[in-house]
Amino acid sequence: MKPQRLLPALLLLSLPAWADEAADICAEAEDRYVELLGQSSSAVEDAEVVLMYKYNFCPSELTVKAGTTVRWVNVDKRTSHSVLLKDGGEPESDRLFPEETVEITFLTPGPQEYLCGPHWETQNMIGMITVEP
């Protein structure tokens, strides 16, 4: 077998197991969003959407232009979450119960790490938004 045929198989083997699990969870989150709101999260025109589901942010990393509003939507069935920017630029959001949202407009370029206040330590519920000029 030629080496170039092995390369894709080796790349797949080198992906961490959590990558597949995160993709599956985010697919479930999107299905739940469609079930609740009747449209895909990508159809939203006035904001970029991050879903909160099973102790994950979906997507966990997002790149936006300065001036973009990001809307976090809790699509869990029973768990509440919050959004807290690590740089302290905004106060921690109230707890978002299922189907509730919070929005933040990002004006300053650079990386903005954020987390779920009640779940970042125990569930590693952390995300990153990179704001471009």
What pLDDT does 54 receive?
96
CA distance 126 to 81: 12
What pLDDT does 1 receive?
37
CATH of domain 3-132: 2.60.40.420
On the question of pLDDT at 6 being above 70, the answer is no
* Strand runs labelled E in 44-109: 48-53, 56-58, 61-65, 68-74, 84-85, 101-106
* Radius of gyration for the chain, computed over Cα atoms and rounded to the nearest angstrom: 17
**Mean pLDDT on 28-57:** 96
Q: Using alpha carbons only, give the angle 3, 8, 10 rounded to the nearest 5 degrees.
A: 80
Higher pLDDT, 14 or 96: 96
Q: For the chain, which residues make up each domain, given as ranges?
A: 3-132
